[in-house]
Structure 1
Amino acid sequence: MMKQTMTRLSGERAERVEPSNLPSFEAPLRPKRQQVARACDSCRMHRIKCDNNVPCKGENCINKSPGERRTLPQAYREIDRLKQKVKELEEKLERQRNESSLVYTCARPQSFALTPPGSDSAQTPDSIGVSHNIVGKNQTIWGGVMTSTGQSPQKTWYGPSSLFYFVSRMNTYLSAIFKQLHPDDLIQLKSVAKTFATPDCNPTEDDEKTDTKDVNQTVSNEAYLTPTQEEYFLNLFWQSYHPTLVILDEAEFKRHYRSLATKPGQPRKPSPLVDIVIAVSMQVGMAVAQRNSPRVLSATEVGSDDPSIAGRIYYRRCQRLLYNEQEAPTLMTVQCHILSAVYTCCAAFQNMSHVALSLAARSAHMLGLHNKPPSDLPVATQELHRRVWWTLYAFESKVCMKFGRPFYTNADSTSCDLPAHDHRAASLAGSDFALLDENTTWLTYAFYNVELLLAARKVHTAFYERYSDFYSGNIGQVIYDDPPALGRYAEYLTTVMKPLDEWGESVPNSLKTRREGDGRYLSTDRSPIVMEQFVPPWLQRQRLLLESLYHVLKLNLYRPFICFPSTATESSSLGKTCLSHATSAAEHSIALTRIFHHVVTNTDLLVGWHEAFQWQWNAALTLAGYLFACPTSEIAPTVRESIDLSIAVFEDFGRSFGTSLGAATVMRDLAIKIDFLADILRGNNSTATLPIEPAAQSAQEPATDRCSTAADVIPSTNNIPFSQDLFSGSMNMAFSVDNSGDLDMLWPPIGNTADQWWIHTEPPGSNGLGYIFPG
């Protein structure tokens, strides 16, 4: 039988004792350890016993939370309490998310959302892509793009209705097709805004100088015009801008101008209103002078002598004087801000123009112009207030729709009636223009211009506010990733276009430009217009600008449905309505181009009219994008012909200011790419060539008439010969901004070095058609 033993420890020795040898008396029971509910921090750290007294027997009795209970049941109860608290907080947070529409979450870190990130990353096809934002729980907002449009590399945000958004989509598509980075700079105008930070023409290296930053610096009297010269430009204003921008009372302005006179031979007193009127007039007047000058402008460099910034010293003095009126604005303050927006817009300083409009809107609100004019004011003053407010409303609406940005003005909070345009109102307006007929006057244009922009803004708002109703964000990043949703969205646009159609039917005959034969007004039937003889230029210009603006607004609304080829659109064809809208955008662009081509080749009505040039630039890029997206459509030949007409229009405008010559060069470049891709698509591989600049040929290779082959133009990264199959493969791989994806996955070997880009040169006599391509 196994013997039981027990071990007794004493110090470091252990001896084995038999049970029989144990003492006979019973050992005392070990006392039960008292459980301590709270131990001091020192005892817990040294893992020693702690009594229930404070201070305890430990050497350093420190207890930072003496009231905290640490028994196991209490811990379980605390855990349950915290779980319940977390559950309540999660439910409360979920309710707030459902109720609030102000919490934005960027759906794609690489893309640009409605609230743009502060970082300024490198400009690549992926970084200029399009994204959507999450608003609330299941609502999405159509995002925009960040791009640099001025002299500074700082990027600014433009919405989906803007031309910059469309250009970014087209550039990314071209980058994918040609396997070359196609940055936005290749399709941007070389304007003074790209050369100078402000219309003051201060170079970048002069920004650190104190004298260029001092707003109180003065200009010598010799730099300003003489009274006779000022009168010339003021008279030009009354015949050019005044009939289309009815914010001044001519008679009142002339009284104000006479009050500024000092001693004979001395300069007049400064006035912000007079200064900005002269500055705006000089933009037109100097363009006319440049057109008649033997000096030829340059398309590659737009300097301080460009007519688009003529009169900048008057503009600068106006802004300095307006600074002192911010706290106590007047009606003249609002008028000056509106004209400042016109000046900066024509000089291509788009963001400065937008800022000037915001100042005008806020100043108008301070003066209560959005309300019904007080009855104690004279009738002429009441009508002037109405004209100023609604002209500002229309102008601001036009610019915000053009940029895709939120509106400042709001018609819902406006109690101001539309301005009158009858004979009595015209007689009180301070100008002496001929009466048109029983119901129309020179003020009628302003009325229908406001009506047109009210209708366009109504359609624009209804269209873009319903984006989340058709695209949920579950497929891809934007609506172009979901062709069925895009088709439903296109059908919805058709249902909200009625206000624009009704406006077209309401225009009086006196404001309509006639057509040859059976051509209809505001139509896209391509019928030639008829410029009536013995009609005053101001009326012809009113008719022309009213119809041109209609086509611009229409093509901007239809343009989002020009979809570039991609894997999504090829696997699931677009609906008929979507394709019809894309065709409508091209048709309105064709109509605008044909009208302008007829006008610039037969009249001088648009000489120096910078906004007309910007409309033509908008239409020309829309035509180019349509041909890239739909190269085999039925109207493709007509669209291609219209691109040539737009180049002719730009060349005519280029006789007045150099920016237009740069636009002609860009359109020639795009036309070459369009023809090149069209030849490949038709299977004419042998003729799908582009000219190579002779200077690019190797020094060892003799100059010949041989053009580069298609394989030279689109270098293969995988040593695959170029063919129609390769083009089809490129089409399948093309990820434009219409679709989510990373361009880096397409052609990883492509670098960002300058020698891998298309290098454009303009040798003498080449007409801007010379290219150097990477070998």
Structure 2
Amino acid sequence: MYSPIRSPEAPGPEVEGRRGEGVGKSETSNPSSFEAPLRPKRQQVARACDSEIDRLKQKVRELEGQLEKERTKSSLVSTSIPPQPLALTPPSSDSTPTPDSVGVSHNVVGSQTVWGGVMTSTGQSSRKTWYGPSSLFYFINRMNTYLSAIFQQLHPDDLIQLKSVAKTFATPDCNLAEDDDKADVKDASQTVSNEAYLTPTQEEYFLNLYWQSYHPTLAILDETEFKRHYRSLATKPGQPRKPSPLADIVIAVGMQVGMAAAQRNSSRALPATEVGKDDPSIAGRLYYRRCQRLLYNEQEAPTLMTVQCHILSGMYTCFAAFQNMCHIALSLAARSAHTIGLHVEPPSDLPIATKELHRRVWWTLYAFESKVCMKLGRPFYTDADPTSCELLAHDHEVASLAGSDFARLDEHATWLTYSLYQATLAQAARRVHTAFYDRYSDFYSGTTGQVIYDDPAALEQYAEFLSTIMKPLDDWAKSVPDALKMKRSGDGRSFSTDRSPIVVEQFVPLWLQRQRLLLELIYHVMKSNLYRPFICFPSTVTESPPLGHTCLSHAASAAEHCITLTQIFHHIVTNTDLLVGWHEAFQWQWNCALTLAGYLFACPTSDIAPSVRESIDLSIVVFEDFGRSFGTSLSAATLIRDLAIKIDFLAEIVRGSNPQTATPPSAQDAATDQFATEVELVPSANDVPFTQDLFTGSMDMSMAYSVDNSGDLDMLWPPIGNAGDQWWVYTQPPGPSGFGGGFPG
């Protein structure tokens, strides 16, 4: 891909500059005198104290009344449904809540039962935000509740969250949450010295990176028109150009990929703990900030450029892992697009090139916003089908007018064909997603348990329903032209889970290789996310709930798509530079790695469990490779290693409690290298009571029932990577992927 060499004047992360010292500091003054103030009359003090005592007594009476009401409610609930602790023995009653029903529930709106979400903190601030049932955070919440139950240790959601810049800073500007009341943060008009920005030569370097990398997969700009606009910003030689929100955000996105490539090629190792101001994912933050300041003035009269800037701002914040900021940026893009009429057919008097640019911007926004909303489990802002804006054209005439010069693919495909199939993939996935979640109340009424996972019969019917509505995605995969398909070896098929190795053609332009790769990766992510709700965690360590065949099949399908995605990632990062600096692709691998881990917790003895376990090791290799570019990925590798230890430990407990599934000693020895585990040192279920003897500081799990959401728990279960050796009584030999050899630091 790119191998930027940093010359003495080349921009580094330090090019962002520093904030002006002394800005926003509160002024203080010394008291003019240390003399004690005159004492008020004692009679006034007594009267004031009497009033305060009366007020506090009244407040106590009110609180006691509220407490009595809560006790009455609890008494009524306890007489109808006796509370039962989460135990490691089979439940004695069908009404016993399962781990899946703790912390997640449904909402009743009118006569309909709506699948509820989860409130959890995912950023630097402790404030919680909402994520729906299709989100990874909802799945993490379910998985953590299960781990809390079986280990009898509270396992809050933030224990499985990445060490990203979004967890370090409140904004890409590197502001801290406690800085909210400082003047320099609130003052959006604060100027930054010109020396903090790049020189014209350096800006051109990162602009060229943008055209080589993101432009072919995000065709929302006319390259020729943009370059004309950029030249118009020039002033006198040696003077900085005039500000432009579009030029600024394009440079900012180019710097994200460029500085990641520079970090990868640097001889300086990136420590796992280094996720700070120099992180490549927030390179260009001064340009991003200036773009946002300029966009503020365009809210009342937005233009096409305004929409383009909001889309690119969504990209920038997504790549930096500020997911809520990304979601908000896309909502602004959607509302601005509605304001200028991009969601309807362009006016007939516009030139064909302008009409098609309008369509490309709208459908690219539709695809991007749909993907983010499904990922977060939140409502859509772009119009649902049907829309009066026709799908974008991709013929050779339109491609020749689009402002970029790319080679023709074949008679029917051009560089714009990717944009069309990206949009139709989003259409198909969104159609399935909407139909699936809108029909929740048709299958689960809320009378059994707290969530559909408490009703296996309803869950199986819901799974069967999903099978009937997946056709749009299957039809889409069949419709993709050969020019956009990633080749497979032998008889392997593209967009399948047959696990056939991919083939990256050698003499194919990088932009086309990346288009093929991204199209297949997005497809597997979307299908995996649709199947993931059927990964159901058992009520106990050794017993699974009575799940139906279709439910189990969908859970396996989610894992199969993640296996395929991980194998593709592993091949790409170990053989090419196609995804260097591609931060969103890293997020897809993280999503799939956690899905694979959850599947093994839920189905440790399934037929595909060995392949899933092997894919988890492959994902660690992928994270280590991405970690050469930015520290967040090294955090992901550490977290997945910790989960792998727990997976192996629980798998041995399950095998120890079920002799029929136990692996013979000889086979166990042969599997040691594959799974990086010395199973003979793992204690059996009979030897390991889940008490304070194994998990120091454990607590009675009945306390969990006093909390509505496991994300609200204040007690932390220390991650295994930070625990002492006495927590675990087995060791790991170093594996081929670096997995093993003790606990990560």
Helix, strand or coil at the partner of 1:527: coil
Identify the residue that residue 460 of structure 1 maps to in structure 2. 433
Q: Give the whole-Å Cα distance in 2 for the aligned partners of 1:768 and 1:298.
A: 19
1:236 aligns to 2:209 (yes or no): yes
Identify the residue that residue 136 of structure 2 maps to in structure 1. 163
Q: Structure 1 residues 752, 144: closer, same or farther in 2, change over 3 A? A: closer
Residue of structure 2 aligned with 1:760, choices 719, 722, 726: 722
Query: 1:298 Cα shift?
Result: 2.2
Identify the residue that residue 418 of structure 1 maps to in structure 2. 391
Instruction: Give the residue type in structure 1 aligned to 2:358.
Output: H
Q: Give the whole-Å Cα distance in 2 for the aligned partners of 1:713 and 1:212.
A: 56
Query: 1:185 Cα shift?
Result: 1.6
Question: Do the aligned residues in 2 keep the contact of 1:133 with 1:142 (CA within 8 Å)?
Answer: yes
Q: Give the whole-Å Cα distance in 1 for the aligned partners of 2:100 and 2:535.
A: 20
Equivalences for 1:298-697 in 2 at 5 Å?
Answer: 298-412=271-385, 414-566=387-539, 573-683=546-656
Query: 1:718 Cα shift?
Result: 8.7
Query: 1:211 Cα shift?
Result: 1.9
Q: Give the whole-Å Cα distance in 2 for the aligned partners of 1:203 and 1:756.
A: 25
Helix, strand or coil at the partner of 2:103: coil
Identify the residue that residue 132 of structure 1 maps to in structure 2. 106
Equivalences for 1:683-722 in 2 at 5 Å?
Answer: 683=656, 716-717=690-691
Query: 1:708 Cα shift?
Result: 8.8
Q: Give the whole-Å Cα distance in 2 for the aligned partners of 1:673 and 1:420.
A: 51
Q: Give the whole-Å Cα distance in 1 for the aligned partners of 2:142 and 2:553.
A: 20
Query: 1:178 Cα shift?
Result: 0.8
Query: 1:767 Cα shift?
Result: 7.0
Question: Do the aligned residues in 2 keep the contact of 1:481 with 1:568 (CA within 8 Å)?
Answer: no
Query: 1:209 Cα shift?
Result: 2.4
Question: Do the aligned residues in 1 keep the contact of 2:100 with 2:536 (CA within 8 Å)?
Answer: no
Question: Do the aligned residues in 1 keep the contact of 2:165 with 2:275 (CA within 8 Å)?
Answer: yes
Which structure has the higher relative contact order (CA within 8 Å, separation 6+)? 2
Q: Give the whole-Å Cα distance in 1 for the aligned partners of 2:545 and 2:685.
A: 30
Q: Give the whole-Å Cα distance in 2 for the aligned partners of 1:507 and 1:753.
A: 50
Query: 1:411 Cα shift?
Result: 3.2
Query: 1:571 Cα shift?
Result: 8.0
Q: Structure 1 residues 550, 413: closer, same or farther in 2, change over 3 A? A: closer
Structure with max Cα Rg:
1
Question: Do the aligned residues in 2 keep the contact of 1:178 with 1:714 (CA within 8 Å)?
Answer: no
Residue of structure 1 aligned with 2:224, choices 246, 251, 254: 251
Instruction: Give the residue type in structure 2 aligned to 1:195.
Output: T
Q: Give the whole-Å Cα distance in 2 for the aligned partners of 1:622 and 1:197.
A: 27
1:215 aligns to 2:188 (yes or no): yes
Query: 1:568 Cα shift?
Result: 13
Equivalences for 1:41-190 in 2 at 5 Å?
Answer: 129-137=103-111, 139-190=112-163
Instruction: Give the residue type in structure 2 aligned to 1:135.
Output: V
Helix, strand or coil at the partner of 1:243: helix
Q: Deviations over 1:155-202 (max 9, x none)?
A: 000000000000000000001111111111221000000000000002
Query: 1:753 Cα shift?
Result: 5.7
Q: Structure 1 residues 508, 753: closer, same or farther in 2, change over 3 A? A: closer
Q: Give the whole-Å Cα distance in 2 for the aligned partners of 1:504 and 1:413.
A: 21
Instruction: Give the residue type in structure 1 aligned to 2:103.
Output: G
Query: 1:346 Cα shift?
Result: 0.3
Identify the residue that residue 82 of structure 1 maps to in structure 2. none
Q: Structure 1 residues 140, 769: closer, same or farther in 2, change over 3 A? A: farther
Instruction: Give the residue type in structure 2 aligned to 1:530.
Output: V
Query: 1:490 Cα shift?
Result: 0.3
Q: Give the whole-Å Cα distance in 2 for the aligned partners of 1:173 and 1:511.
A: 41
Query: 1:206 Cα shift?
Result: 3.5
Query: 1:228 Cα shift?
Result: 0.6
Query: 1:680 Cα shift?
Result: 1.6
Structure 2, unpaired ranges of 5+:
1-80, 84-98, 664-679, 708-712, 726-733
Q: Deviations over 1:635-658 (max 9, x none)?
A: 000000000000000000000000
Q: Structure 1 residues 714, 349: closer, same or farther in 2, change over 3 A? A: farther
Question: Do the aligned residues in 1 keep the contact of 2:370 with 2:426 (CA within 8 Å)?
Answer: yes
| Number of residue pairs the alignment of both structures matches | 611
Q: Give the whole-Å Cα distance in 2 for the aligned partners of 1:618 and 1:448.
A: 23
Q: Deviations over 1:609-646 (max 9, x none)?
A: 00100000000000000000000000000000000000
Helix, strand or coil at the partner of 1:324: helix
Q: Structure 1 residues 452, 225: closer, same or farther in 2, change over 3 A? A: same
Query: 1:754 Cα shift?
Result: 5.8
Q: Give the whole-Å Cα distance in 1 for the aligned partners of 2:118 and 2:446.
A: 18
Q: Report the more deviating stretch, 524-533 or 407-416.
A: 407-416
Q: Structure 1 residues 714, 223: closer, same or farther in 2, change over 3 A? A: farther
Query: 1:607 Cα shift?
Result: 0.2
Identify the residue that residue 60 of structure 1 maps to in structure 2. none
Q: Structure 1 residues 493, 330: closer, same or farther in 2, change over 3 A? A: same
Instruction: Give the residue type in structure 2 aligned to 1:299.
Output: A
Question: Do the aligned residues in 2 keep the contact of 1:668 with 1:769 (CA within 8 Å)?
Answer: no
Q: Deviations over 1:522-574 (max 9, x none)?
A: 11011000000110000000000000000000000000000000179958611
Q: Give the whole-Å Cα distance in 1 for the aligned partners of 2:454 and 2:390.
A: 44
Q: Give the whole-Å Cα distance in 2 for the aligned partners of 1:258 and 1:589.
A: 45
Q: Once superposed, what is the RMSD of the aligned Cα atoms?
A: 3.0
Query: 1:744 Cα shift?
Result: 6.4
Q: Give the whole-Å Cα distance in 2 for the aligned partners of 1:569 and 1:464.
A: 31
Q: Name the TM-score, length of structure 2 as normaliser.
A: 0.78
Question: Do the aligned residues in 1 keep the contact of 2:152 with 2:701 (CA within 8 Å)?
Answer: no
Q: Name the TM-score, length of structure 1 as normaliser.
A: 0.75
Q: Structure 1 residues 313, 571: closer, same or farther in 2, change over 3 A? A: closer
Q: Structure 1 residues 580, 684: closer, same or farther in 2, change over 3 A? A: closer
Q: Structure 1 residues 347, 754: closer, same or farther in 2, change over 3 A? A: closer
Q: Give the whole-Å Cα distance in 1 for the aligned partners of 2:152 and 2:255.
A: 45
Query: 1:414 Cα shift?
Result: 2.3
Q: Give the whole-Å Cα distance in 2 for the aligned partners of 1:325 and 1:308.
A: 27
Query: 1:134 Cα shift?
Result: 1.1
Q: Give the whole-Å Cα distance in 1 for the aligned partners of 2:588 and 2:163.
A: 16
Question: Do the aligned residues in 2 keep the contact of 1:482 with 1:568 (CA within 8 Å)?
Answer: no
Instruction: Give the residue type in structure 2 aligned to 1:372.
Output: E
Q: Structure 1 residues 258, 191: closer, same or farther in 2, change over 3 A? A: same
Instruction: Give the residue type in structure 2 aligned to 1:133.
Output: N
Q: Structure 1 residues 768, 149: closer, same or farther in 2, change over 3 A? A: farther
Q: Structure 1 residues 756, 560: closer, same or farther in 2, change over 3 A? A: closer
Question: Do the aligned residues in 1 keep the contact of 2:155 with 2:716 (CA within 8 Å)?
Answer: no
Instruction: Give the residue type in structure 2 aligned to 1:378.
Output: P
Q: Structure 1 residues 247, 517: closer, same or farther in 2, change over 3 A? A: same
